[in-house]
A and B are shown apart, each in its own frame.
Chain A
Amino acid sequence: MNIYAQDVSKTYMARGGSTFIALENFTHCFKSGQFTCILGPSGCGKSTMAQIVGGIEPADGGTVRIESSDGTPSGMKLGSASVMVWQNQNLFPWRTILENVTFGPEMAGMSRAEREEKASRLINSVGLRGFEKHYPTQLSGGMRQRAALARALMMDRPILLMDEPFGALDAQTKIVMQEELLRIFEETRKTVIFVTHSIDEAILLGDEVIVMTARPGRIKEVIPIDLPRPRSFDLVNTQEFGRLFDKAFHLIRDEVTKAMAEMNQVSHS
């Protein structure tokens, strides 16, 4: 499944009637089975883009089409081809981990035995065996994110959207989760759109990194990441990683400075 986004724009209404452009003329083809990271300063519209692809937010302009790998229209509607993993997980607090993971199939009417068997396989594969009966508040942030990942994988959708999923985790947990995600990506080869503001995360995980400008959010540059897979965190010590990091860093430094200047303006006005 390729995702073809053409001239996608989104404008938000701020309080007091003023508008700001979150996303402007975003044109990109997310290729099937590729891991694409969208990297940018806060407020650059990168989360908005993921939500538009997921059919969660409507775009104001432009189109997003889901095409088969050979470029013909797939006929799949936005939203039915993808599933989102959220930064704050959005697990249902009144459901146990098992009940959270089986939520989607339960809504779709899959039998309890079938969905629970499938869920227990996924719960094992994300390393949560033994926590099926726990409630989300009883787990750490990293474990909650594992559960959220299992819940998304349960949906068997070809496109996985991830909106800063490790943004709130501590540094060590984050590394472990990144390696887990690399492993799961190897196994499933889904089309992944991964939103992040962390440069090394984007390079470690992605096949390509889309660097965004600050408001309005536009594509500044697309950096191909030709690092071999399977990858592990050891990659960050290689020369090639360092070169890519420098490149991305110089692209994004100006944007972060711009975004910060704009924030100051907003807070002083």
Chain B
Amino acid sequence: MTLGSYVATQAIAAQGVSVRYGDAQTGLLAVDDVSLLVAAGEWVSIVGPSGCGKSTLLRAIAGLQPLTAGRVEILGASPQAAQAGKRLGLVFQEPALLPWRDVEANVRLPLIVNKSSEPGVDRTAELLGMVGLEAFAHYRPHELSGGMQQRVALARALAHDPDLLLMDEPLASLDEITREQMRYELLRIWEQASVQRPKTVIFVTHSVAEAVALSDRVLVMSARPGVIKASVSIDLPRPRRPEHERDAVFLDYLDSIRGQLRDETAEEAGA
């Protein structure tokens, strides 16, 4: 799962990506000239203050956000081709499930749209087991807790066995206790799902600890304009364990990334 083993294949290649909202001259420059290479199977996290353009960058990679400049390639083709081939799996801060469908039908959603793409095997039951919700297949989302709903969203994002998992603060709306448990649950599910096909992850988060614990590489993003300020490779062994969070190396990574973010907020306060 490290950079070295997949260096030949780039899952994501972004070059000079800029996104400006509103007016072409005076509008808010949410993302400014960001270039990015992500290897297949790599887990890359993007951390940064609120409103720094992390989510915009993620939507640009998914082909959901028109670019003002630059280009994005997913697996050597356009994001639109990746959409058409059902190569993308999205998870958001909110579960964003369909409230009128039960858990199983929600997870199956990617299989029933865009059927011109390869039909794919129905792995719904297996995925529900993987996220620990096999007993809740016929519950409606509102009957589940927030953490369980987010597991459904994760299973849904994996249902069509995508190559890319794009997650926008997927743990942010959970309570502290659930959030810490979900951190390693997420890793386990990703590792399990990656057995059949390696899954490249872009993971947007506010939490530095989360980013270091999960990622092969952490990108620090600054706000206004949104640029990638630093890229930190996390050389911790996989599979990651909660114990690693007590290692001196882990804490060093935390300090260094938090330092970058502090500079960022200090600059903003001074400006």
User: Are A and B interaction partners?
Assistant: no
